A and B are shown apart, each in its own frame.
Chain A
């Protein structure tokens, strides 16, 4: 089965700790994304990666870090510098990154099941 997996499903963190959220895809997609969602709110982009060994900050990158050493994997680290990390974290992937091209579903983003992070 092709898809995106995220682990763990639930994560509890003590204040001052760094934690890493896993995201793996076997869809052979080039682009991967991390979003944060707070209760009753929309998706906010944290980081995205268009290709291996390259990534860009999104709208709320402060207090987060990522790596993209393999095409299939895009882990997100929530550092102690993130002051309010309790949220639902969603990983997504797409065949390619947005840009000027013929319209298509090329940029359709597929989502993993999410990780719910709670700071104790």
Chain B
């Protein structure tokens, strides 16, 4: 079992829709969870981090964490074409581990 898993995509959503990105992890001792966005040919940039169960909102982005299910997700409301990128989930426990990323395509 890989430490951090994500659907590779591509996930295609129409402009204005909600995009839902999912991530599962195997280390039950993990404490902090991060979502990065990476545009093609660029380096990853942090969107949000979360460490408490429940939801955390920042603008159009909402991170959701369920430690019992070892599951973290990112919702993007009112998706825009500029949101088209690869989204990387990262989990910090004994190690800092990145998932393989999910490619999101927002169609105009």
Contacts and interface: CB of A to CB of B under 8 A. Distances in A.
Interface size class on chain A is: 20 to 34
Contacts of A97: 96
A113 B52 CA distance: 30
Contact of A107 (B44, B88, B92): B92
Nearest to B52: A103
A85 interface: no
Contacts, number: 55
B98 A98 contact: no
Contacts of A110: 46
Nearest to A106: B32
Contacts of B43: 90, 111-114
Interface in A86-106: 88, 90, 94, 97-106
Interface of B: 29, 31-32, 34, 41-46, 49, 51-52, 88, 90, 92-96, 98-101
28 contacts: A33-B96, A41-B100, A42-B99, A42-B100, A43-B44, A43-B88, A88-B41, A90-B43, A94-B96, A97-B96, A98-B92, A98-B93, A98-B96, A100-B29, A100-B31, A105-B32, A105-B34, A105-B49, A106-B32, A107-B96, A108-B46, A109-B34, A109-B90, A109-B96, A111-B43, A112-B43, A113-B42, A113-B43
